[in-house]
Amino acid sequence: MLERIRSQRVLLRDCDKLVIKPAELTIADGVITSVEALDRTSFEAQASTLDLGARLVTPAFVNAHTHLALSFLRGMDGAAFQRNLVEDLYFHFESKLSPEDVRAFSRMGAYESLLAGVGTVWDHYYGELALAEALLDTGLCGVVAPTLQDLAGPGRGGHERALEATLTIAQSERFAAAGVFAALGPHATDTVSARLLAQVAELAAAHALPVHMHLAQSLDELERVHDREGCSPLTLLARSGLLERELVLAHAIFCPEADLARLDQQRHCLVFCPSSQLQFGFPADVARWDALGVRWVVATDCASSNDSMGPQKELRYCQGAATYRVTGSASYARFMERGEREAARACWRERGENVQAERAHTTSEALLARVLEGPGSLHPAFRAGVIAPGALANLIAWDVDHPVFWPGSDLLRGLALGDPAPAMHTLLVRGRVVGAVGNPAALLESAPYREAHREASARLARLL
């Protein structure tokens, strides 16, 4: 394991600004212990030091909501399941999974995540301890929320075992030492009873655990909760006591302004998964979230509803959130119907107003924060997505001479809105090199990866 990393270009937080400076990082037990200004004149070669020259060193990405195992359904035609893709397609196959299947499929999702530059994931899935073991198998850091369901879904009837697994992960020194932590994982407000939600709130308080769940992700969820409880999904969380806890809530598509206004920036965070939402529903209105002061971060969801595990790719949708609202505006509809010049002028004015209103949220720094330090600060047991003492040593060195960064005049924009993956020179997770220095994809030639691929493929063939 490396003890020191140095570069002429290290991405650091200086007050409220991201800056790129020469620095040397010291690492111990997978955590950054110090960050010091680099004096090139005093360099002394040491075997445990990796000198990355002028390559840009940044934190690895943090994926705040995913289901690694669901890569096994990537490419499955969901056209016949558009009423409710999650229930009609995913639940059908997930009900057949064994913990061994979950572990095998999660390994493949973990390897894909690593090669997308992800060092930490927030995952919510079945199989009790299987997912956590898969993270240990592959070296990926993560927060594991064993899925809790007692009303419907593949986990129905197994929520007590899932709760036991959650506490096992939370209390395990072995998992913590590998960068694997726990969260409580009620699936959604329509598959989890009010009684179980209240139990989750009590456990979250007793064990200082965050809660990671889906919220108002479908019309079905909204309708069922109103029919069963006579209230909205978020109001149900409030009644259960969960709004007093640390919450990471994915999607919130059917969450009205009155509910959004009840969220606390200090305790609550929404997760926007634009590519996935385009497939299973429609994108949430994050510009409205911004206007209401809601805290939010960006994630991929699963490969079966995204086809990619790279959260950085999602930032382009966020950058355009101010403008895609104009396409559905009344002024643009009027122009399309009648071709009126005044209607065209009106929708262009609306575009300008939206862009101005969202300017602070669409800078390169603001966008990168949604896949770096924003999601990296959501769990009380660790920090990630930032280069600072105490943070996980999950790092990427980028080759800034690669064409994807050329001409190199704005490296932050290239990192936020470009396609930087081909320029990933070296990846470290907890201070350990993934693949090889200069070639992360070397892990694909490793014996563990080949065996993981073989087992996952064999299990998939039997399942389908």
| pLDDT at 198 (0 to 100) | 98
CATH number for the region 61-318+364-369 comes to 3.20.20.140
Average pLDDT, stretch 140-168?
97
Percent of the chain with pLDDT over 90: 88
Domain ranges across the chain: 4-56+386-433, 61-318+364-369, 325-359
Tell me the per-residue pLDDT of 111-134, one tens digit each, with 9 for 90 and over.
Answer: 999 999 999 999 999 999 999 999
Average pLDDT over residues 186-213: 98
Check if the beta carbon of residue 300 is closer than 8 Å to that of residue 308.
yes
Over its C-alpha atoms, the chain yields an Rg (Å, rounded) of: 22
**Residue 427 burial by CB count (10 A; 0-12/13-18/19+): exposed, middle or buried?**
buried
* pLDDT surpassing 70 at residue 202: yes
Residue type for position 69: A
Residue 145: which H helix or E strand, with range?
strand 141-148
Q: Could you give the count of Cα atoms lying within 13 Å of 243 in the half-sphere of its Cβ? A: 15
137 C-beta neighbours (distance < 10 Å), count: 18
Looking at residue 10, its pLDDT comes to 97
Handedness of CA 344, 348, 351, 357 (dihedral sign): negative
Q: What is the DSSP code (8-state) at residue 187?
A: -
Q: Tokens 């997912």 appear where? A: 131
Mean pLDDT of 327-335: 94
Q: What is the DSSP string of 260-296?
A: HTT--TTTEEEEE-HHHHHHHS----HHHHHHTT--E
* CB of 20 closer than 8 Å to CB of 411: yes
* pLDDT value at 263 more than 90: yes
Residue 410 has a CB neighbour count (10 Å cut-off) of: 13
Mean pLDDT, rounded, of the chain:
94
pLDDT at 251 over 60: yes
| Residue 117 phi, psi dihedral angles, 5° rounding | 85, 20
Instruction: Give the CATH fold of the 4-56+386-433 domain.
Output: Urease, subunit C; domain 1 (2.30.40)
Q: Is 445 exposed, middle or buried (0-12, 13-18, 19+ CB in 10 A)?
A: exposed
d(CA 159, CA 165): 10
